[in-house]
Amino acid sequence: MEPLKLGEMEMKFAEMIWAQAPVTTRVLIQEAKVTFAWKRTTTYTMLKRLCDRGLFQNKDGEVVVLVARDAFLAAQGEQFINDAFDGSLPKFITAFAKHSKLGDQEIEALEALIAAYKDGNR
C-alpha cells in the first residue's frame, strides 16, 4: 500500500480530518455518517488505513496529524512528476503549458519562483 496514493473517499476523509484536527473519533464518526452515509465500522476502517499510511495517529480516541496536508500534496506532486516525467519539472511544465494556457499571473509567479531559486532565497 503506497502512502501517497489515496482513493477518492480516502482523500475526502483525510481532508475532513485535516480541516478539524485534532479531532475525536466520535466527531469523525458523526460527520462521516452525515457526509458519506458511513457506519461506525466503515469510519474506523478508513481511519485505520490513513493511520497505517502514517498520515494520522489515533491515540485514545483523538486523531492528530502526522503529515500536514501541504506536505502530503507536495509529496504527491513530486511523486507524479517523478513517475510521469522522469523527475523533470521542465518536462511537466512544457506538457502542462501545451494543453492549458498560462495566464499572466501564473507566468509571473513562475518567473518569481525561478528568480528566487537563482538568488538562493528558496
pLDDT band at 1, cuts 50/70/90? very low
The pLDDT tens digits for 23-66 are: 999 999 999 999 999 999 999 999 999 999 999 999 999 999 99
The model's pTM? 0.79
The C-alpha atoms of residue 11 and residue 2 are separated, in whole angstroms, by: 13
Q: How far is CA 9 from the centre of its chain?
A: 13
Cβ-contact 62, 21 below 8 angstroms: no
**Confidence at residue 2, expressed as pLDDT on a 0 to 100 scale:** 62
**Per DSSP, what are the bridge partners of residue 62?**
24, 59
